Structure 1
Amino acid sequence: MTTTDLAAGFRRRLLDGLAAAIRHGGYAETTVADIVREAHTSRRTFYAHFADRQECLMALLHESNQKTIARIDRAVDPHVPWETQVHQAIEAWIAAVQADPPITLAWIREVPALGTSARRLQRETMDAFVVLIRRLTDTPELRAAGVLPPTQQTAIVLLGGLRELIATTVEDNADIDGLTQAAVHATKLLLGPRS
C-alpha cells in the first residue's frame, strides 16, 4: 500500500468518524476527540488531514452533496414524461436524505452559522444543484411538453423550499417518505409547462 493510499484511508476513516459522531449527538456537540475515537485514530492523524473539525465537516458535506447530486442525476430518465422525471428526481433526493438524516440536518442547520468558508461551500453546492435542475429540464422531451429550464431564482426558490421541508421533517422525526407527494406537487407547480 502506498503512502497516498494510507493517507486516503485515514482521511476516509476521519470523515466516517465525524459522520458517526454527528449521528450520535449532532455536530454542535461533536469534538475532535469524538471524531478520532470513532475513527480509531489519533489527534495527530486528524490534524495531519484537517485544520479543525469545521474543515472536516466541510469535506464530509461536500462529499455528501456530490453523491446526492449524482444520485438524482442517475435516477432521472430523460425519455419519460416530465411528470415522471420530477417524481424520479424527488424520490432520489428523499432516498439520499433517508440514507443519513443527521448529516442532511447538519448541512441544512449547522452550515449557515459557520462563517465564510462554510458559506462559500453552501453557495457552490446550491449552484451545483441549480445547474443540475437546469440541465435536467433542458431536453427536447421537456421542451416539447412546454417545460423550460427555470431561472436561477426559480431554482433557488424550489431548492430552498425543499431543503426546509426536509429539515423540519427530520427535526420532527416525521416520515420522510411522506414528503414525496408534497415535494413533487410543488416542483411541478414551479417547473411545469408555461403558457
Structure 2
Amino acid sequence: MLGRVNQPGTSRFAATYPPEQPGLPRGRSRLPVAVARERQHDRLLRAAISAIADKGYIDTNVADIVSRARVSRREFYTHFGNIEDCFLAAATASAATLFDTMSKATAELAPLAAMRAAIGAYLGMCAGEPEFTKCLIIDLPATGIRGATDRLRGDRKFATMLHTLHEAARSEHPGWPPAPDEAYLAAVGMIVEHVAEHLINGEVHRLPALTDRFHGLTLRLLGVPPH
C-alpha cells in the first residue's frame, strides 16, 4: 500500500492541505467568487487523488476528500455530484497533463527517438507520481464502466501516439512492414502491466531505467527491423 501523502507543491496531482496552512481567504479579504471556486475545484481534485491513493476508491468517502482539501462538504457538492464524479474529473485532468508531458518530450525528434521519449516520459511520470499511478491503474477501473472506459480511452490515446510515430518512421523506411492496429494497443498494454507490477511491488522508482527495454519490446511488437 502506498500510504505516502504529498504536501502541496511536492506533487503535480495529489495533495493534503495541512491544518496549519491557511484556508481560502474569507470576509473582507476573500477571493473573488470565480477564483475561489477554481481553487476549491483544484484542491478537491488533488485531495481526491491523495485520499484514493491512500485508502482505495471503495473505502474513500467525501469526508476524506474535504478534510484533505480543507474545503467544506457543501462546497464539494457545489462542484461534484458524488465521489465518482470528483475522482473521474481528477483522473481526466491528471491524464491531460501526462499526455501533454509526453507530447512535449517528443518535439523535434526523429520518429523512433520520439517514441522512446514518449515511453520514457510516461514511465518517468509514473515513477514521480505514484499516487496518480495507483489511481490510474488500480482505482480507476474500480469505479465501474465509466472509469474503465476512461482508462481504455487513455490507453488508446497512447496507442495512437505510437501509431503516428511508427507510420512516420515507415515513411522514412518504405521497406518496413505495417503493423496491425491491435499491435499498438498491445504495446501499451505491455507497458501498463509492467507498471502495475512495479507499483504492486513498491518499485515504481525503477521504471525510468526500463525505458530502453520497453522501447525495444515495442519496436519488436510493431515489426520494426533490428537496426
Normalising by structure 2, what TM-score? 0.74
What's the offset of the Cα at 1:94? Answer: 0.9
5+ residue gaps in structure 1?
Answer: none
Amino acid at match of 2:65: I
Normalising by structure 1, what TM-score? 0.85
8 A contact 1:69–1:132 mirrored in 2: no
Determine the structure 2 residue equivalent to 1:70: 100
1:22 aligns with 2:22: no
* Match for residue 50 of structure 1 among 80, 83, 96: 80
Larger radius of gyration: 2
Determine the structure 1 residue equivalent to 2:213: 182
* Match for residue 173 of structure 2 among 139, 142, 145: 145
What's the offset of the Cα at 1:59? Answer: 0.8
How many pairs does the alignment contain? Answer: 193
Describe the shift of the 1:10–1:151 C-alpha distance in structure 2 as closer, same or farther (beyond 3 A).
farther
Determine the structure 1 residue equivalent to 2:18: none
For the residue of structure 2 that corresponds to 1:59, the secondary structure is helix
1:101 aligns with 2:130: yes
What's the offset of the Cα at 1:75? Answer: 0.6
What's the offset of the Cα at 1:122? Answer: 2.5
Residues in 1 aligned to 2:198 and 2:91: alpha-carbon distance in whole angstroms:
20
After superposition, the C-alpha distances for 1:142-183 in whole angstroms (9 at most, x for unaligned) are: 421356774431111111111110011011012223432331
Residues in 2 aligned to 1:110 and 1:75: alpha-carbon distance in whole angstroms:
27
Determine the structure 2 residue equivalent to 1:90: 119
Identity of aligned residues (%): 24
Determine the structure 2 residue equivalent to 1:111: 140
The structure 1 segments of at least 4 consecutive aligned residues displaced by more than 4 Å after TM superposition are: 146-150
What's the offset of the Cα at 1:45? Answer: 0.8
Describe the shift of the 1:149–1:78 C-alpha distance in structure 2 as closer, same or farther (beyond 3 A).
farther
Amino acid at match of 1:158: A
5+ residue gaps in structure 2?
Answer: 1-30
Describe the shift of the 1:137–1:22 C-alpha distance in structure 2 as closer, same or farther (beyond 3 A).
same
Residues in 1 aligned to 2:40 and 2:163: alpha-carbon distance in whole angstroms:
37
Describe the shift of the 1:152–1:127 C-alpha distance in structure 2 as closer, same or farther (beyond 3 A).
same
Determine the structure 2 residue equivalent to 1:11: 41
Greater CA drift, 53-62 or 84-93: 84-93
What's the offset of the Cα at 1:13? Answer: 0.8
Greater CA drift, 163-172 or 58-67: 58-67
After superposition, the C-alpha distances for 1:65-110 in whole angstroms (9 at most, x for unaligned) are: 111111111111454362x323212211111112211221221122
Greater CA drift, 70-79 or 48-57: 70-79
What's the offset of the Cα at 1:46? Answer: 0.8
1:36 aligns with 2:60: no
Residues in 2 aligned to 1:26 and 1:143: alpha-carbon distance in whole angstroms:
45
Amino acid at match of 1:155: Y
8 A contact 1:26–1:102 mirrored in 2: no
